[in-house]
Amino acid sequence: MIAVKRDGHVLGEHQIDWVIDAYTRGVVAEEQMAALAMAIYLNGMDRGEIARWTGAMIASGERMDFSGLSRPTADKHSTGGVGDKITLPLAPLVAACGVAVPQLSGRGLGHTGGTLDKLEAIPGWRAHLTNEEMLAQLEGIGAVVCAAGSGLAPADKKLYALRDVTGTVESLPLIASSIMSKKIAEGTGSLVLDVKTGSGAFMKREADARELAATMVALGDDAGVRTVALLTDMDTPLGLTAGNALEVRESVEVLAGGGPADVVELTLALAREMLAGAGRDDADPADALASGRAMDVWRRMIAAQGGDPDAALPKAAETQVILAETDGVLARLDAMAVGVAAWRLGAGRSRPGEEVQAAAGVELHAKPGDRIRLGQPLVTLHTDTPERFERAAAALADAWTIDDTGCDLRPVVIDRIG
């Protein structure tokens, strides 16, 4: 099989089924799977191979079943970015409109934040639920955000860890099958993908993001899961915060009827797609947000998982403000630089299992298009360990451009695929 892909040929269905099963059971050695992953990285896969690979990873574990719920289900997956807190207001918003949201989420690594890390900034909140607890919460409240169980696509968990240390993470077929194997195994009736492109995204080139989105939509449709993708901008961070407790605070502001315009816009756009996929086109998510119904679901969802929705969120022991050194218009604010700064302040991790600081992160005081005055605050750095300030500030050294030429902003939602 390694030689087949090395020489640019197509793997057979039985070969794919065998290798995924054998690797999961430990029959195929790590160095052999690493060689096969590199051959796939270099030579790609056709649609049939990707679909079979995805199916084999699904078959390596259990499949959840939500058919017994009294309401339809819809889920969302984001390919990750900076300040991407959308799951937090989105799940209760869609649930408030009558659709159950089984949101299995992950943790951050490097410059991208993790939904579970953010929610764990809320005192008492727990990420791990049994399948029975998850089903009960979906029926009673309508939304759950929790960690995926070890039984879902265990082949993917093992293969991702290998790809992470062998330079093969950026393989489009392996990315698509990794994401979709978990989402299809999760058992949701419909799926909306938020595929980001730009400096702070995994797919920096728009053409690559489009190809990934189209591949995942096809995989979902082939598996009988109604799937659409929104191609969204990640040149600039979403909202005004990047960090765990900071992003929770901003999400609650959105649920209370405020919050940054770009976060509200993307939340509503994704909510409308999720509701349409679940057959609830008649529901108005904007009304559910304005009326406070989404906030009610948020409070119940957090409390059901042991969290206190009224508790004060952690605040950093130390802050440092960076001031503008000139007048003009903020023409550019680089998402990757902001994400790296938040990571260096302690909001993210450099390896799985590393502890994160709940209060660390970057708070923005301006977004591209805003008029800037000399000496005004541009960003505030938050951390419990002030020795981190120097390296975080260094990450931001070339993060923005202030001049009088203005800026040409991309829309938050660039395109819809599917």
347 lies in some domain: yes
One domain for residues 298 and 346: no
Active-site annotation holder among 77, 85, 107, 280: 77
Mean pLDDT of 154-171: 88
Q: Per mean pLDDT, which range of 33-37, 190-194, 354-358, 407-411 is the poorest?
A: 407-411
List the CATH number of the domain containing 154.
Answer: 3.40.1030.10
Consecutive H or E run containing 413: strand 413-417
pLDDT tens, residue by residue, 97-144: 999 999 988 887 677 788 999 999 999 999 999 999 999 999 999 999
Instruction: Give the domain extent around 166.
Output: 75-304
Are 79 and 202 contacting, i.e. CB atoms less than 8 angstroms apart? yes
Mean pLDDT of 71-76: 96
Report pLDDT for 320: 98
List the CATH number of the domain containing 376.
Answer: 3.90.1170.30
Confidence of residue 4 (pLDDT cuts 50, 70, 90): very high
Q: Catalytic residue at 281?
A: no
Report the share of the chain in percent with pLDDT over 70: 99
In a 10 Å sphere around its CB, with 0-12 CB exposed, 13-18 middle and 19+ buried, how is residue 227 labelled?
A: buried
Mean pLDDT of 278-307: 97
Report pLDDT for 75: 95
Report pLDDT for 175: 92
One domain for residues 224 and 339: no
How far is Cα 112 from Cα 340, in angstroms, rounded to an integer? 8
Are 251 and 264 contacting, i.e. CB atoms less than 8 angstroms apart? no
pLDDT tens, residue by residue, 12-69: 999 999 999 999 999 999 999 999 999 999 999 999 999 999 999 999 999 999 989 9
Q: Domain tally for the chain?
A: 3
60 lies in some domain: no
- Tokens 């057959």 correspond to 279
One domain for residues 232 and 120: yes
How far is Cα 78 from Cα 222, in angstroms, rounded to an integer? 20
147 lies in some domain: yes
- Tell me the one-letter amino acid at 241: T
Tell me: pLDDT of 354 over 90: no
188 lies in some domain: yes
DSSP structural state of residue 311? S
Q: Catalytic residue at 196?
A: no
Active-site annotation holder among 5, 71, 118, 163: 163
Active-site annotation holder among 85, 182, 196, 382: 182
**CA angle at 12 for the pair 10 and 15, rounded to the nearest 5°:** 120
Q: Catalytic residue at 7?
A: no
One domain for residues 95 and 130: yes
69 lies in some domain: no
Active-site annotation holder among 78, 105, 178, 190: 178
Q: Catalytic residue at 14?
A: no
The helix-helix angle for 13-25 and 30-43 (nearest 10°) equals 140
One domain for residues 153 and 290: yes
Mean of per-residue pLDDT scores for the chain: 94
Nearest by Cα to 43 from 9, 3, 17: 9
370 lies in some domain: yes
One domain for residues 8 and 89: no
Entry field: residues in the chain:
418
295 lies in some domain: yes
DSSP structural state of residue 169? T
Nearest by Cα to 62 from 175, 151, 184, 149: 151
55 lies in some domain: no
One domain for residues 131 and 223: yes
Tell me: pLDDT of 192 over 90: yes
One domain for residues 298 and 164: yes
One domain for residues 126 and 152: yes
Confidence of residue 300 (pLDDT cuts 50, 70, 90): very high
One domain for residues 172 and 142: yes
Report pLDDT for 322: 98
Q: Catalytic residue at 327?
A: no
One domain for residues 110 and 174: yes
Active-site annotation holder among 75, 117, 156, 233: 156
Report pLDDT for 106: 83
One domain for residues 151 and 39: no
